[in-house]
Amino acid sequence: MVGTQAGPDRHAWIEWAEASAGVQSLGPISDPYRLDDDTLVVRAQEGDTAAYGELVVRYQPAMYRLALRLLDDPGEAEDATQESFLSAWRRLRGYRGEAAFSSWMYRIVTNRCLNMVRSRRPATSLDGAAEEVAGPEARGPERGVEANEQLGALRLALARLPPDQRACWLLREGEGLSYSEIAAIVGGSPAAVRGRIHRARRRLAEVMQPWR
């Protein structure tokens, strides 16, 4: 299968795809990073598992990073990333290129992660998050400790956001996508996305106030 924390493994991907789908690579790609995504997608749609393996290698780190931030669990993030790439492979013939391949993958990963989040028990409301994570004045003076606790406070605050707000905020602040790109991924209009991000920023600012 595709490696995640240790890095993506194109050879493992190719072996899995050939065994499960009954297809074979059309041959090695001498310099895959000189090929654009569209070329790799077309080759993959023709059954070239090596071409799809290069797409996995190219985009797996970003997709795993997003999944980890959405799920806050390395094991679940690895599963979600792997399952998303497998799902994309099965659906690849239906991909028509209306959006960039990366945007298509962001949508698949985001939807899978949001479904996983929604299947969990409801989280405690954000109102109590600031009380659960003490501010820097209650901690030791060490900068390293303070930085770690600030990051922990942010992770807790993100976990308490509604899933749709969390996804929009992460796609904007973590992945640097535009409002239009995010709207295409999560559904809705750019204005609706802007509103979700605004509400997320406001709630995060309230919880992170002790760290300012």
Residue ending a domain, among 98, 118, 138, is: 118
Amino acid at 39: T
Q: pTM value?
A: 0.74
Out of 83, 118, 153, pick the residue that ends a domain: 118
The Cα 2–Cα 15 span in angstroms is: 10
Cα distance between residue 99 and residue 127, in whole Å: 38
The string of pLDDT tens digits covering residues 192-203 is 999 999 999 999
Same domain assignment for residues 98 and 169: no
| End position of a domain, from candidates 118, 151, 167 | 118
- Give tens-digit pLDDT for 97-142: 888 999 999 999 999 999 999 887 655 444 444 444 444 444 445 5
CATH code at position 191: 1.10.10.10
Please give the residue range of the domain that contains residue 158.
126-211
CATH of the domain at 68: 1.10.1740.10
